[in-house]
Structure 1
Amino acid sequence: MKSFLTIAALCFSGLAGAQELFPLSEPASTIPKGALGVRLFSETYNEVNQLRNMAGLRLMYGVSSKLSVYLTGIVSNHHGEKLPLEFPFHNTPERGAYYPYRFNGVHAYAKYRFLSKDGEGSHLRLAAYAEATYVNTTHHETEPDLAMGDNKGVGAGLIGTYLLRKFAVSLTGGIILPAAYTGVSPDPISSLPDVPVRVQYGKAITYSLSFGYLLLPRRYKDYDQTNVNLYLEFRGKAFQASKVDIFVGLPNEYFLYPERYPPALQKGYYVDVSPGVQFIIRSNLRIDCSATFSSMGISYARLYPVFNLGVQRYFFPRKKT
């Protein structure tokens, strides 16, 4: 019986709900209890004469049938040691500046599925999630991002996913509460010490609407068949302006008023669109490929198109006979 449950969990993760394993958004479904997942993923785009890359290694674990936890380490070449020269008066962010690869920090995520309704060839899942990131990066834009390791902070939200035969749709809404960053910016006069700067990034509302369709196989013959899934995801944020303090801790400290902010530090919103394709090989090995384009509004945190790649595999515990 235990062996059967293990096989059933494997089939559920790799086949039955394959089209709801969205490349860029989390579904409301959770990992089977005791299963360990490993995911490698990357985000790449061209910025003037530099390729910006972010890569993550994620460990995922099914604490119970309803609770999953993730821990991700993030590396990127998105950030320098200091904030840019004359920050924030220059036209942030610095486009094409060279930054070495650095370990940004860690991202923790927990998802609890609190509702499951199953029908013939269909199911509905609702889940709540919470996340937190510990990083110390020189993020140049007000738009916060925890999953990519741009900001220290916390977030939470709700996910709803509906599956009907070969079609899946998922809706996510959440908030991000970023922590402030205190660092330095080089003084325009090289002989003078660096200028202390404190940046309180804007709070944000996040939203996504994801669609998935099982293209192949048309009919299942065995669990070793390769799945091919097509996706279309709409993801975005609405965020507040930053608050920037100059000469922090010094007698001449002052607050920069929002009307003087460059565009990247002002409030805004955007919606991106991401078509993608996914291959699930032998019920477990998952390969995601997608590209992201601007649809509405604008994000200053990246340039388009953005290319995403992910590889993931689950390891299931052996059951004693």
Structure 2
Amino acid sequence: MRYLSVVFILFISLQIDAQELFVMTEPASNAPAGSIGARLGQSLLKNKINGGSTYSVAPEVTWGINKNVMVRASSYFDDMNDGFDYRGAGLYAKYRFFSVDDLQSHFRMAAYGRYSWNNAEIKQEAIDINGMNSGYEAGLVATQLIKKVALSSSVSYSQAFNNGDYSFPNNHGKRAVNYTLSAGRLMYPKKYTSFKQTNINTMLEFVGQTITENGQSYLDVVPSVQFIINSQARIDLAYKKELYSSMSRINTDGVFLKLEYTFFNVTQ
């Protein structure tokens, strides 16, 4: 009886967490404790400066240290300068400090930080610590899950540095406030009968930024669809569309494809 109770609780928790694995943003929930996740993020985005498109790749490894702490290491590659080259790397950490759980709902809050270094030439005013700028980011995120619907929002502060031998332009603002709003819903299955059922989630995310020195800003909308296979493999397909921008940006509209596989109970 005790074994069946543990299995039931694990089953419910896995299916609940599946609703808040957003494509563009991180929820307040963490990677499962003791797990190692391998992810390959890819994007093909319109290049406003050189014309054509920019292809970017970001391999990542995530470690769920415990239920409240996770860390992630990333590296960045792109073909922006007439060749596919290594651009930099980053470290990300998240600490979940508040949680209220129920059988079919929960509310969670977490603090997170990111530090990145990059060797690419700085060509835009928008600050992107996750792939284009050296610097750091620190923020808070809150996530509410109610049955099949998840809502998540975050706010963070970014500080950009020089990119290797490339100095940060004097006419660009180095500091920014970032904000996101994400909504996701489980579309399939209607009723769970097995761990091996494929989950299909649809999402709509808004991602924005304001440079604090001059007030310039942008806002993107990102609709996406997500497939979770056998509770371990994940496929994300998203399209980003710029809604508004008063600053220069290299890459705006385009598609994202993310592939991820999680190995459970690796470090426990």
Count of equivalent residues: 263
Distance in 1 separating the partners of 2:223 and 2:244:
16
Task: Give the share of equivalent positions with the same residue, in percent.
Answer: 29
Q: Does 1:142 align with 2:143?
A: no
- Give the conservation status (yes or no) of the 8 Å contact 1:202–1:267: no
> CA distance change for structure 1 residues 4 and 315 in 2, over 3 Å: closer, same or farther?
farther
Higher relative strand content: 2
Query: Post-superposition shift, 1:46?
Result: 3.1
- Structure 1 residues 145-224: aligned runs within 5 Å: 145-148=128-131, 150-181=132-163, 183=165, 199=169, 201-224=173-196
The correspondence for 1:232, drawn from 199, 204, 208, is: 204
- Give the conservation status (yes or no) of the 8 Å contact 2:123–2:250: no
Distance in 2 separating the partners of 1:141 and 1:319:
41
Q: How high is the TM-score relative to the length of structure 1?
A: 0.75
Q: Does 1:117 align with 2:118?
A: no
Q: Does 1:32 align with 2:32?
A: yes
Residues 11-45 of structure 1, C-alpha deviations (whole Å, 9 max, x = no match): 734x2221210011000001122110011011112
Distance in 2 separating the partners of 1:10 and 1:57:
29
Query: Post-superposition shift, 1:49?
Result: 4.6
Query: Post-superposition shift, 1:126?
Result: 0.3
Distance in 1 separating the partners of 2:58 and 2:12:
26
Q: Does 1:74 align with 2:76?
A: yes
Q: Could you list the runs of 5+ residues in structure 2 that have no partner in the other structure?
A: none
Give the counterpart letter for 1:220 in structure 2: Y
Distance in 2 separating the partners of 1:44 and 1:167:
29
Query: Post-superposition shift, 1:300?
Result: 2.8
Distance in 2 separating the partners of 1:7 and 1:301:
48
- Give the conservation status (yes or no) of the 8 Å contact 2:35–2:267: no
Give the counterpart letter for 1:221 in structure 2: T
- Give the conservation status (yes or no) of the 8 Å contact 1:11–1:283: no
Distance in 1 separating the partners of 2:212 and 2:119:
21
Distance in 1 separating the partners of 2:247 and 2:146:
33
Distance in 2 separating the partners of 1:268 and 1:39:
32
Query: Post-superposition shift, 1:301?
Result: 2.2
Larger radius of gyration: 1
- Give the conservation status (yes or no) of the 8 Å contact 1:37–1:312: yes
2:54 aligned residue: 52
Give the counterpart letter for 1:77 in structure 2: D
Distance in 2 separating the partners of 1:106 and 1:21:
22
Give the counterpart letter for 1:125 in structure 2: R
Distance in 1 separating the partners of 2:11 and 2:71:
18
Query: Post-superposition shift, 1:293?
Result: 0.7
- Give the conservation status (yes or no) of the 8 Å contact 1:2–1:319: no
Distance in 1 separating the partners of 2:4 and 2:136:
39
Q: Could you list the runs of 5+ residues in structure 1 that have no partner in the other structure?
A: 81-98, 185-196, 242-265
> CA distance change for structure 1 residues 319 and 152 in 2, over 3 Å: closer, same or farther?
closer
- Give the conservation status (yes or no) of the 8 Å contact 1:45–1:302: no
